[in-house]
Structure formats: C-alpha cells, structure tokens
Chain A
C-alpha cells in the first residue's frame, strides 16, 4: 500500500460529520455540569459569538447575495437622522412586501476577516415552496482560525460542503455534496426529525439542520435574527433615493465590537438588500471587518413552480437553476 493511500485514509478520518444533535447534547451536558465562570469565560463567549455571527446571523438571514451586490442606486438626498423604531418599522414592512411577491431569488454571502465562508442561494415561492443551496468552505468557516492572531484559513475553496434543500408541496428532500458513501444521495426527510429551532437559535454548527427545517417550512429565513440587530441604542440614518427607494443605515455597539448595517428598500417597498459588518472587535486586532455578510433579493413576477428533485439523479445545484459561476463551486 502506498503512503498516499494511508494518508488519504487518515485525512478521511478527520472529515466526519457530527450528528445534528451534537450541539444540543453538549449544551445540555454543560448546563448540568458545575460551572466555573471567570471574566475570561464571559469575554470569550463574546468573541466566539461575534465570530459565529458568520453562520448564525446569516444562517438566519439566509438568502444571500453573491459577493457582488452591485452598486447602490443613486441617492437624491443627504442622509438624515432617524430613530431605530422608524427603521425597524420600515424594514419589517419591506420584508413583508418581499414575501408577498410571487417569487423571490436571493443570494447571501458571509465572510470572516474577508475570507468567504458561506454562500447561499434561494429560490422561493409565495406558496412556501423553495430551493435552498448552501455552500460552506469548511476551512474558512469551521476551523476557528480567526481566533488565532495573524492567522489565515488552512485553505480556501478546497473543502466545500454543499447542501441542497428542496421543499415542493408536501415533500421535503435534501442532499449533500460530497454525497454519502452509502445510501441514497437524496433523502426524503420526516420534518419531525428536524430540530425545531430557528437557525439563529441553532448556531453555526447546527445551522445546516436548522436551515433545513426553515427550508422545509418554506420560510425565507429572514427570521428574527437580522431584525434583532436593529437595537434601540443604534444610530440611524435614512437616505431617500432618486428612484423612490430608501437606504437605512444603523451603527450600533455589539459587546466588544460595532455593527454597521445597511438595509435597502426598493421603490415598491420590498426589501432589496441587507448587509452588515462587525468591526472594531477589540479582541481581534485586525483592520478588516471581523465578520460581514450581505444578502440581495430579486423579485420574480411569474416564476416557474418548484418541483421535487429527480431522486435517481445525482444531486446537482445546477438542476435547480444555480448559476455556474456561483461562488465556492470549485470544491
């Protein structure tokens, strides 16, 4: 046997997928264990939480847009100060308007210290059917490299895990790429087996499962998590655009960092895009935003219906309309 074969096997041992119940079981065990908190324990949670926003805040947000959101429409007015309550009301209305559309496509991306970690593509229908494709660069998103000063991801674009979730009528299928070594590639899942939590609650490690449930339920995943970032102590500005749309920005403290958000509302009142950066995180001495994400939406007036996948065929996001140049596709 060659050395390469042995090394290949050893690497394979390091790619095990944890069960979806792992995080809840750990949290349950911790809850039952004697705790010994310190100043650092609390501090570390802040740091880790900030990093996890990558997969959490955005896992909730889900729809994302590709790394290229495009230039914002021209503004016709200078920014004026507004209140967080005004901004929240406007954003909530924009989300509701978006969900009333016959179809919506969205693309989302999340980065950690400028490195693309997760991208998602969603094709949603007003009746709740939808296709969700999620690609995660495991080396960027799950290795914790950002907690080590001056470090880089162990690799980029080489170790990508893709999930496809398809909700069509009463059926919910999902698949992952690389496909399982054994068993069918497509799985018809009993919704009762999925964790009954929002992606925001599930966190990074359990995000796929939680996102799966959200996908199964046909929600846009623009759940409460992004809106929770619209805090009462944020500084808000409103800028009216020449086309009738509005750009809202909020700067708010977030534990040991600062959130900078921008919400764009189109002239018809629908949410066009949302982006955020977590910057100035004191525990991470980096000039780059600690974490950042963006999502953009495209309204479809007459979309094709979504149908269940051909379970005899190998899972391929392109079969559902995912653009060939969608990021993280090389893995």
Chain B
C-alpha cells in the first residue's frame, strides 16, 4: 500500500529531474532505499518529504552516474529545431514549440539545477519544501533556483554555442 500510495508522485518527481526514460528506474531505486531505511524514520507525518529527499538524491546520483557530457543543446540537424529558431527572439507560438526548445536546454543543466527547478516548478513545492528535499537552507535554495532559471534561459537563448565548453555534470 505504501508503494501504491506514493508511486505516482515519486515517479513524477523523478521524471521531472531525470526525464521519463529513466524515471521508472529512479523511482524503483527510491522505494528500495526507502524500504531499507524505514527504521530511521520515526515520524509518520514526515514520510513524504523524507521519501522526496531520497528520490532527489537518487535522481541526482543517477544523472551523475551517466558520466557524460550534456547532450547537444540544440541539434542543428534537426529540422524542427532549426525551424523554431526565429521564435527564440520573437513570438512563441505554443507550448509544443516551447517544449522542443526548452527540453534540450534543460538537459544541459547540472543535476542540482534540474532538481531545484523540478521540485519548485514541476512539483509545485514551496521554496522551503524544495530546500528540505535538497538538504540546503532556504536562502540557498532561492539563490540556486534563480541561478538555475538563469542558466536555463542562457541555454535557450544561446542554443548554438559549443557545448563542449560546458563542464560535464
């Protein structure tokens, strides 16, 4: 029952951080770890944030374990992406186009940046809740969130820059 109760929201958090291709694996790792660590949890009301922290850590580790450089921010061989380029500085036609452009940029962020964006925007958590999940102070979470947004915007607005200059996450 515990798994069934929290599987969906945990999966969504994992998907928001690592993407849907790996979300099920991260979710599974999260629950296995939670199950093994349950004796450490003494406060029933704190279960969900506790599970969330495990999921975030697993997701970050998962990203690091990929041990690869960020994917090309924009594949200029992709006709759809090239077509959308003018929209970067003009009117945006819709969410689908936005998704096509933002997703590659999101992939270029560090695990920490992805996590804070996912917690606050994707999962709708407050800054304090996001800070708790990340194990950092609220002020740090705020600054990290702003930095992540700035980085995301930079990735979007400079889609053709050489990603090889970016450090591996």
- Give A contacts to B, CB under 8 Å: 1-2, 5-16, 18-19, 21-23, 25-27, 29-30, 33-38, 40-41, 43-45, 47-49, 51-52, 56, 142-144, 147-149, 154, 181, 202-206, 283
Contact = CB atoms under 8 A, between A and B. Distances in A.
A87 B108 CA distance: 62
A206 B121 CA distance: 25
Ranked 6 nearest A-B pairs via Cβ = A14-B122, A203-B4, A10-B121, A16-B15, A38-B39, A49-B1
Interface in B82-139: 87-88, 92, 95-96, 98-99, 101-103, 106, 117-118, 121-124
A261 B149 CA distance: 51
B167 interface: no
21 contacts: A6-B152, A9-B95, A11-B121, A14-B15, A16-B16, A16-B20, A18-B11, A19-B24, A23-B3, A29-B28, A37-B39, A38-B38, A40-B39, A40-B41, A41-B38, A45-B2, A48-B6, A144-B5, A181-B96, A204-B4, A204-B8
Contacts of B37: 36
Contacts of B161: none
Contact of B118 (A14, A30, A49): A14
Contact of A14 (B13, B24, B31): B13
Given A13-B16, A14-B118, A26-B31, 14 more contacts: A5-B95, A8-B98, A10-B117, A16-B12, A18-B24, A21-B24, A23-B3, A30-B31, A33-B35, A36-B38, A52-B4, A181-B96, A203-B1, A203-B4
A25 B4 CA distance: 11
A7 B28 CA distance: 27
A113 to B, nearest CB: 14
A43 B42 CA distance: 10
B4 A206 contact: yes
A33 B32 contact: yes
A29 B31 contact: yes
Given A45-B2, A48-B2, A147-B47, A30 B35 contact: yes
B81 interface: no
A258 to B, nearest CB: 18
A18 B8 contact: yes
Nearest to B97: A5
B47 A14 contact: no
